């Protein structure tokens, strides 16, 4: 299949934008002006102003002389770039590859796209109609190379849809400016009486190269298709992406579910072939009114199980607002990892952390209640109790350190230690009694002290002297004194409960 490219020329991009914002400008001549070397120079015009002979580069004063009731606006310097970027993103509905063609156009790689609209003519017509409806004056041309499409959009006279057979003749009829070359070179060509490509294309390459330079030859080759031209898509291509355009806008949940199911099946089929599984996926719905709805999911382990992924999405689908309808669904997997089939069949009956059913359960839980709610801990090499463990990044992460098992630790630790009142006989002796939540506990047995110092490179502060104590009822506590006894600034805290 040959490549097909669409070039869109926004002839009055800036003035169109002003007209869209204030519709009453539709029937008045509008120009945009910007100061250049101390003079106000016209940088953009609309159709009406242009028909009266006002052109770009003219001084504003001259234009005022021609048309006294001219509407003048100050030009916004980066307006075209911003507008084109937005329009390019909007045009993603026509093809995944859309590029900005500065200063006033867009390029679309339409290879294999137009049949979804019923043919090249309908495809170009759809683009024109939709952009016209938004209020932009456009010329849309379609050809086998970017060069010809660009030239035809700006200088084409008859049909702008160039089929493969018409390609040479359309190319021949282009003026030199249609080749995207420097103004100076095209002017020189005109001076030499070469007004269309056909008049110089048969000249020897060596003499063309000598007279007009290398750039000129590259442009010529690009238009002919002899040299490949690269495009810079506005949205980088997702390698794992599936698209589903709809003939009729979808408004029901059932419709969305069918679309999702279909997309998941094709995507997972592809992942299956490549022995991969996805870690995160985005389901994007493009609405008729230009808004975009999206749903994200992530998994704790690479997965390509359609049912499981569908369930993960399922809980969030009801949040999508179809409004007037959705015309395009895109499912992409930004994060994909190796997933060998051996992993699945192993230990089916045994369970454990490697089991896919467990990771699917964890996915369901995180999907509904958030990523931070589900935690697994691994040892970390710190003595400070709060830092002696860290969160694992995944279900399969293996511990890299060991827990210190020499000292007894309480089964339950308070998030923040609670202040208690303590009576202790002499320094370094365990306390005799303490008061916690208005209840006095007589200490019968005690172990300690166990001093734990602050890690000064992480956090400053005083050390803790821990005691393991048991009261007369058999309750066991972990209490500590913060700071030295003789400093008189120490305080006592309850930090945990032993089983």
Helix, strand, or coil (residue 230): coil
Structural element, H or E, at residue 471: strand 464-471
Site for other proteins in 398-417 (CB under 8 A): 398-399, 403-405, 408-415
Min separation Cβ 404 and other proteins, Å = 7
Report in angstroms how near the CB of residue 485 gets to other proteins at its nearest: 21
Q: Which two tokens stand for residue 142?
A: 């379609």
d(CA 328, CA 341): 32
Does 388 engage in binding with other proteins (CB under 8 A)?
Answer: yes
Residue closest to 300 by CA, chosen among 239, 238, 350, 375: 375
Q: Tell which one of 362, 422, 424, 479 touches other proteins (CB under 8 A).
A: 362
Structure tokens belonging to residue 421: 């009142």
Find, among 51, 52, 17, 45, the residue nearest to 30 by Cα. 45
* DSSP-assigned states of every residue in 404-438: --SS---SEEEEEEEEEEEE-SSTTSPPSEEEETT
CB closer to other proteins out of 210 and 415: 415
Q: Are the C-beta atoms of residues 448 and 431 closer than 8 Å to each other?
A: no
Question: Which residue in the set 96, 314, 379, 483 belongs to the binding site for other proteins (CB under 8 A)?
Answer: 379
205-212 and 183-191 helices cross at what angle (nearest 10)? 120
317 binding other proteins? (CB under 8 A): no
Residue 316 engages other proteins in binding (rule: CB under 8 A): no
493: three-class secondary structure by DSSP = strand
Work out whether 389 is an interface residue with other proteins (CB under 8 A). yes
Minimum Å distance from CB 276 to other proteins? 23
Q: Which is nearer to other proteins, 233 or 314 (CB)?
A: 314
Selected binder of other proteins within 255, 262, 470, 483 (CB under 8 A):
470
- What is the closest distance, in whole angstroms, from the C-beta atom of residue 401 to other proteins in the complex? 11
* Rg over CA atoms, the chain: 36
Sorted by sequence, the CB contacts under 8 Å of residue 120 that are 6+ apart come out as: 4, 114, 142, 161, 163
Interaction pattern, residues 337-356, with other proteins; x per rule: CB under 8 A: ----------x--xxxx-xx
Farthest CA pair distance, the chain? 112
Residue number with CB closer to other proteins (85 or 409): 409
The CA distance from 354 to 370, in Å, is 22
**Residue 314 is a binding residue for other proteins (CB under 8 A):** no
Based on the shown chain and the rule CB under 8 A, indicate whether residue 374 belongs to the binding site for other proteins: yes
Residues 415-434 contacting other proteins, CB under 8 A: 415
- Rounded to a whole number of angstroms, the minimum distance from the CB of residue 417 to other proteins is 12
361, 433, 452, 482: which one binds other proteins (CB under 8 A): 361
Angle, helices 356-369 vs 306-317, to 10°: value is 10
Among 130, 137, 188, 364, binds other proteins (CB under 8 A): 364
Q: Which is nearer to other proteins, 490 or 498 (CB)?
A: 498
Give the nearer residue to other proteins in terms of CB position, either 164 or 444.
444
Note whether 480 and 493 are within 8 A (CB): yes
* Footprint of other proteins (CB under 8 A): 347, 350-353, 355-358, 360-362, 364-365, 368-369, 372-379, 385, 388-389, 392, 395, 398-399, 403-405, 408-415, 444-447, 468-470, 472-476, 496-499
């Amino acid at each position: 299949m040959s490549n097909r490219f669409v070039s869109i020329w926004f002839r009055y991009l800036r003035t169109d934008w002003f007209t869209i914002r204030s519709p009453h400008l539709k029937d008045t001549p509008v120009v945009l002006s910007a100061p250049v070397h101390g003079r106000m120079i016209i940088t953009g015009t609309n159709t009406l102003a242009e028909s009266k002979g006002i052109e770009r580069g003219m001084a504003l004063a001259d234009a005022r002389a021609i048309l006294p009731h001219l509407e003048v606006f100050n030009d916004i310097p980066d307006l075209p770039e911003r507008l084109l970027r937005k329009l390019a993103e909007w045009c993603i509905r026509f093809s995944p590859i859309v590029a900005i063609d500065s200063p006033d156009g867009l390029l679309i790689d339409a290879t294999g796209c137009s049949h979804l609209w019923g043919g090249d003519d309908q495809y170009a017509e759809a683009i024109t109609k939709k952009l016209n409806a938004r209020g932009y004056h456009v010329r849309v041309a379609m050809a086998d190379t970017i060069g010809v499409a660009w030239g035809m959009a700006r200088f084409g006279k008859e049909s702008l849809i160039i089929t493969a057979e018409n390609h040479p003749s359309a190319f021949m009829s282009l003026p030199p400016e249609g080749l995207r070359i420097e103004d100076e070179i095209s002017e020189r060509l005109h001076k030499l009486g070469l007004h269309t490509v056909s008049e110089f294309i048969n000249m020897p390459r060596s003499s063309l190269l000598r007279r007009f330079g290398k750039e000129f030859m590259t442009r010529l080759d690009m238009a002919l298709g002899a040299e490949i031209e690269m495009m810079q898509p506005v949205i980088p291509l997702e390698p794992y992406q599936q698209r589903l355009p709809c003939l009729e806008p979808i408004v029901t949940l059932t419709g969305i579910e069918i679309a999702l199911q279909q997309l998941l099946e094709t995507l997972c089929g592809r992942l299956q072939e490549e022995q991969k599984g996805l870690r995160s996926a985005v389901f994007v719905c493009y609405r008729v009114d230009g808004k975009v709805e999206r749903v994200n999911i992530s998994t704790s382990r690479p997965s390509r199980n359609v049912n499981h992924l569908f369930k993960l999405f399922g809980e969030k689908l009801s949040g999508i607002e179809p409004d007037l309808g959705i015309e395009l669904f895109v499912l992409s997997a930004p994060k994909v990892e190796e997933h060998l089939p051996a992993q699945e069949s192993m230990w089916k009956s045994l369970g454990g952390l490697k089991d896919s059913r467990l990771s699917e359960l964890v996915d369901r839980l995180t999907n509904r209640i958030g990523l931070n709610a589900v935690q697994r801990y691994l040892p970390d090499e710190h003595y400070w109790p709060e830092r002696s463990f860290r969160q694992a990044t995944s279900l399969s992460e293996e511990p890299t350190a060991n827990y210190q098992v020499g000292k007894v630790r309480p089964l339950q630790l308070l998030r923040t230690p609670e202040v208690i009142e303590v009576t202790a006989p002499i320094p370094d002796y365990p306390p005799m009694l303490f008061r916690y939540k208005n209840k006095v506990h007589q200490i019968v047995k005690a172990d300690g002290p166990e001093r734990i110092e602050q890690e000064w490179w992480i956090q400053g502060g005083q050390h803790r002297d821990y005691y393991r104590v048991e009261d007369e009822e058999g309750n066991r506590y972990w209490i500590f004194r913060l700071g030295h006894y003789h400093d008189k600034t120490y305080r006592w805290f309850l930090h945990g409960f032993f089983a």
